[in-house]
Amino acid sequence: MTLASGASAAVWHHDDETGARPSAGDIDQVRISAGEKVVTMRVEFNGRVPYQTDVFFDVDRSRKGPEFVASYNDDGGGTDQLFIDRAHGFSSPLDGARCKPRSVRLSDGGETLTARFRVGCLTFRGEKPDRLRVNVTTNDDFVTLDSAPARKRFGRWFAVG
**What's the DSSP call for residue 145?**
E
Minimal distance in Å, beta carbon 22 to Ca ion? 11
Which 100-159 residues touch Ca ion, going by CB under 5 A? Answer: 146
25 vs 101 by CB, closer to Ca ion = 25
For residue 105, how many C-alpha atoms fall within 13 Å in the half-sphere facing its CB?
Answer: 9
For residue 97, how many C-alpha atoms fall within 13 Å in the half-sphere facing its CB?
Answer: 0
Residues 13, 37, 63, 86: which binds Ca ion (CB under 5 A)? 63
Which 66-95 residues touch Ca ion, going by CB under 5 A? Answer: none
Minimal distance in Å, beta carbon 80 to Ca ion? 26
Rounded to 5 degrees, φ, ψ at 120 are -55, -25
Radius of gyration, CA atoms only, the chain? 14
Minimal distance in Å, beta carbon 101 to Ca ion? 22
Q: Which residues pair with 43 in a beta bridge?
A: 30, 113
Q: Write the CA distances from 93 to 20, 23, 71, integer angstroms.
A: 30, 23, 7
Stretch that binds Ca ion, among 4-12, 56-64, 95-103, 108-116 (CB under 5 A): 56-64
60 vs 100 by CB, closer to Ca ion = 60
Q: How far is CA 87 from the centre of its chain?
A: 12
Residues 12, 24, 25, 26: which binds Ca ion (CB under 5 A)? 26
Q: Write the CA distances from 144 to 17, 89, 96, 137, integer angstroms.
A: 15, 14, 20, 7
Residues 12, 24, 25, 27: which binds Ca ion (CB under 5 A)? 27
102 vs 124 by CB, closer to Ca ion = 124
64 vs 76 by CB, closer to Ca ion = 64
Q: How many residues bind Ca ion (CB under 5 A)?
A: 9
Residue 30 near residue 135, CB atoms below 8 Å: no
By CB under 5 A, name the binding residues for Ca ion. Answer: 16-18, 26-27, 58, 60, 63, 146
